[in-house]
Structure 1
Amino acid sequence: MTEPAWLTVLTTTDSEEKAHTLAQGAVEARLAACAQISAPVTSVYRWHNAIETSQEWQVLFKTTARRYDELEAHLVAAHDYDTPEIIATPIVRGSARYLGWVTAETAAAAAL
């Protein structure tokens, strides 16, 4: 099976300000072509043997598979969670113009 060329990468954080910081940093570093921040969601999860419920902001990055490792490392370093959610989902189809833009925006780091 062939590796996908493009990915969406999801993370969450506990404030809108932190979501903007994560999004801005990844786009500025050209690790993602863009990032979308979703309004607060309610997350229910087990942490340290207790059921927690919290409000979080989701950040969805559009990137290439080639840039994933760097994006993950950036998110881990910039995130204040002990174990941040970082999930990559392959993009199997999309508009050629849009996916070309994602590729160009994330490849531009080499030209800087």
Structure 2
Amino acid sequence: MTNREFLVVTTTHDDETRARELALTVVRDRLAACAQVYPIQSVYWWDGEVQDSAEWRVDFKTRVDLADQLAARIAELHTYDTPEIIGVTVTTGSAAYLDWVTAETRS
């Protein structure tokens, strides 16, 4: 199935507990049907230096029409000064899974 009505929105957090709390809150708010939380190692510029740190990535599965609300909620709850909030369009997916994402998110 080809569809551009869905997104995977990604953010990162430096604390596993906070990453999981963010995931739970967003899913309970019905701004995403699910969230996956997993450890990563990030290398990035911050405060004029290259940083290398452990983080927790959170991938939210949602609808395009919820993107702005989801981004605002992530920014509201996040502890970073500049949290990563990036949405990638889903270009293909199973009809049953995408129907489930629609059913489990806000109308």
User: TM (normalized to structure 1)?
Assistant: 0.90
Q: How many residues align?
A: 105
Instruction: Report percent identity of matched pairs.
Output: 49
In the alignment, the residues of structure 2 paired with residue 47 and residue 57 of structure 1 have an alpha-carbon distance, to the nearest angstrom, of 17
What SS does structure 2 have at the residue aligned with 1:106? coil
Runs of 4+ in 1 over 6 A off after TM superposition: none
Q: Which residue of 2 aligns with 1:30?
A: 30
Counterpart residue identity of residue 67, structure 1: L
Alignment of 1:4-15 (within 5 A): 4-15=4-15
User: Which consecutive unaligned segments of at least 5 residues does structure 1 have?
Assistant: none
Structure with more of its chain in helix, by fraction = 1
Paired residues for 1:1-112 under 5 Å: 4-38=4-38, 40-107=39-106, 110=107
SS for the counterpart of 1:93 is: coil
- CA RMSD in angstroms comes to 1.2
The 3-state SS of whatever aligns with 2:105 is: helix
Task: Give the C-alpha shift of residue 97 in structure 1.
Answer: 0.7
TM-score using structure 2 length: 0.94
